[in-house]
Each structure stands twice: as C-alpha cells, then as structure tokens.
Amino acid sequence: MKIMSIENSRSKIFWSSSACVQLVLSVLLDVGLCQTGGVGSIVSSDVFNSIVGEADSGCAGKGFYNYDSFINASNAFNGFGTTGSSDVNKREAAAFFANAAHETGGFCFIEEQNPTMMYCDPSNTQYPCTAGKSYYGRGPLQLSWNYNYGAAGKDLQFDGLNNPEMVATDPSISFKTAVWFWMVNSQCHTAITSDQGFGGTIKAINSMECGGGNATAVSSRVNYFQKFCQQLNVDPGSNLQC
C-alpha cells in the first residue's frame, strides 16, 4: 500500500507539473513573449527593434510601435507571413515593414502630418462620417477614410467611426488595422506572395505613385524593402517597382 501511495503521489506531481508548464506556455504565447511559429519565427524581437528602433527619441512612434502588439496583430490573421516558402514569408514581412516605414517616416509618426482634409466620403452610406471626426492617416499603414475606419472597426471590434483616435492611441488596434488592411482590404498579401512582387504592394496601397506618378515615393519604399530584406537574409526578388 505504501508503494502504491508513493507511485500515486509521483503521478499526481507529474501531471500537476505538466499542467503548470502548459499554463505558462499558454500565457507566454498570448502576450507574444514565446513564439513557436508564425511571423514570430521570422521576425524576432531583436530584428523588429532594429527595424523600428531607428526613429528618433522625440518621435511619437518611439515605443508606440512595439513587438508584442505586432505579433498579436500578425497572429490574428491567418496566412500573414506564413503562406509560402521561408523566402516568400520573409519577403512579406519585409514588404509590410517597408511600406509602413515609408508611410510613417521610419516609424516616427503615428498620425498623418498636417492633413489638409477630413477624409470623409459623404457618399458612403454604409459607414457614414461622425460629425466632428477626422479620418486622416493613422497607424503603421496610415489607415484613411471613413469607409476604411468603419470596416476595420467592424472586423476588429472597435468603434472606428466614432473613435478613430484609437488607431493612434492603442498600439494593438493600430497594428491590427495595418495587418487588416494588408490581408483583407487590399491586394498586398496576394501581390507579395505571387509574381507581382513588391511593386504589387505599392500599387495596392497607393496606385497613384505608380507609372511615374511619384517616383520619389516608390524609390523610398523600394529602398526600405531592400534594406529589410537584407536584415532578414532574403533576396528581394523581382518586380520591385510599379
């Protein structure tokens, strides 16, 4: 009977320890501190910080764009940085950061600088503008227009029409709107994971820059992309411009 008691105690200790390990891993995964796959296996915290860390200390984006918020946003969308081969996935991560870096002045800005309009399309009745609210660019990909704030808010469960400021005050929401735009509301993901290449993401984000519309902006995006591809140790591929 004593032997059985010892064995039972050992069994209880073993299963109790296993449960604790599983609980700890679950918590770490939830907060983005432990990554076993997904974008976290491509973009480590060190790589992320080397990409966004070049922003000056006086920049609003310094500290706002953080690793945990990026990972949580990435994991919220199936396929982001996980669709193809290792090289394809690395290019997608580099392409996302390159466009975000261009849009935010190297992750310095959270909000559009000196907007000249409220970005309200009154013809869109599905997502009508709220009086007194502006829908100018905010976040990593500078989410703009009432219809994008409304649709993003609906999918991500925040009030984008009545509280668009959340995209500039909540890092998690901010990154989620960017990945949402990339995966759901544009052809960015399709472009970078196909033969359209990085140039296809530029066209998806701002087609007016293409075909000579704004060669300086295109060059800025491409330069960032090539730089981040080098940091991720992947060839940038073809079709870099649009």
- Residue-by-residue pLDDT tens, the chain, 242 positions: 333 443 444 444 333 444 443 443 343 333 333 444 689 999 999 999 999 998 999 999 999 999 999 999 999 999 999 999 999 999 999 999 999 999 999 999 999 999 999 999 999 999 999 999 999 999 999 999 999 999 999 999 999 999 999 999 999 999 999 999 999 999 999 999 999 999 999 999 999 999 999 999 999 999 999 999 999 999 999 999 99
Radius of gyration of the chain (CA): 21
The CA distance from 59 to 64, in Å, is 10
Alpha-carbon span 103 to 204, nearest angstrom:
14
Secondary-structure percent of the chain, ordered helix, strand, coil, rounded to 5: 55, 0, 45
Helices 67-75 & 45-52 angle (0-180, nearest 10): 110
Beta bridge partners of 143: 138
Q: Nearest CA to 167 among 123, 56, 158, 88?
A: 158
| Residue 37: predicted pLDDT | 65
98: enclosing H helix or E strand: helix 86-103
Return the biggest CA–CA distance within the chain.
86
Cβ-based neighbour number of residue 103 at 10 Å:
23
Question: What is the C-alpha separation between 122 and 96, in angstroms, rounded?
Answer: 30
| Cross-strand pairs, 138 | 111, 143
Distance from C-alpha of 113 to C-alpha of 174, rounded to nearest angstrom: 17
Catalytic residues: 103
Q: Please answer whether residues 201 and 100 qualify as being in contact, where contact means their C-beta atoms are separated by less than 8 angstroms.
A: no
DSSP state of 129: P
Q: How far is Cα 123 from Cα 232, in angstroms, rounded to an integer? A: 43
Among residues 26, 32, 43, 48, the alpha carbon closest in space to that of 82 is found at 43
Which pLDDT belongs to residue 29?
37
CA distance 91 to 89: 5
